[in-house]
Amino acid sequence: MAEPDVEFITLAKVLKTQGRRGEVAVAACSDVPGRFSPDMRVFAWLDGKIHRELSVTEAWPHKGHLVLKFAGIDSISEAEELVGCELQVLKSERAQLEPGWTYVSDLIGCEVFDGDREIGRVDDVKSGAGEAALLIVQAGKRVIEVPFAETYLREVNAARKLIKMALPEGMLELDAPLTAEEKAQQKR
């Protein structure tokens, strides 16, 4: 069992049982090809604590999800206990990235700058809204969605919790609240 102060990274979430031999369908949070492999050790987390340690015996794609089979989970009822769990690995065991790549989880908490102007802190990262992920940046009382696009990036230093960008003029004002003058014009 892992120690409570050790950092973990979520690789997938168990969605449902799949099959009759204890398999589960998962939504993968990692796009590293072949990330799940036989004999791989993962921890099933539920409600913020370790539910159990598991060993992957098989992994294959099926209908847009990944299906996993674990040692010792051999029935539907045993697999049902895993539904809703996050499958995690020790942060020290995550796959090595190529230079210039960054884990999404490492972006959370970074301070974002547009040139020398501080925008705010990354609270979350949203994927699937387009080609580039969106940084959800808390900027005072405002929440701003900033495209994490290579075109705008100048520096990403996850160790220093810093993201420097060069954003197009007016991008940060696109979803800004209306001024009193703009509201008055809309009423006319």
Rounded CA gap, 5 and 20, in Å?
Answer: 36
Count of Cβ atoms closer than 10 Å to residue 82 Cβ: 23
Which class in CATH covers the domain with range 8-93?
A: mainly beta
Global pTM exceeds 0.85: no
What sign does the CA torsion over 13, 16, 26, 43 have?
Answer: positive
Domain positions in the chain are 8-93, 104-166
Sequence-separated (6 or more) residues with CB below 8 Å from residue 40 = 55, 56, 89
Provide the token pair at 106. 């490492």
CB half-sphere exposure, 154, CA atoms < 13 A? 11
User: Within 10 A of 135 (CB to CB), how many other CB atoms are there?
Assistant: 25
Superfamily of domain 104-166 in CATH is PRC-barrel domain (2.30.30.240)
User: For the segment 107-154, what is each residue's pLDDT rounded down to a tens digit?
Assistant: 889 999 999 999 999 998 887 666 778 899 999 888 999 999 889 999
pLDDT tens, 114-123?
Answer: 999 999 999 9
CATH topology agreement for domains 8-93 and 104-166: no
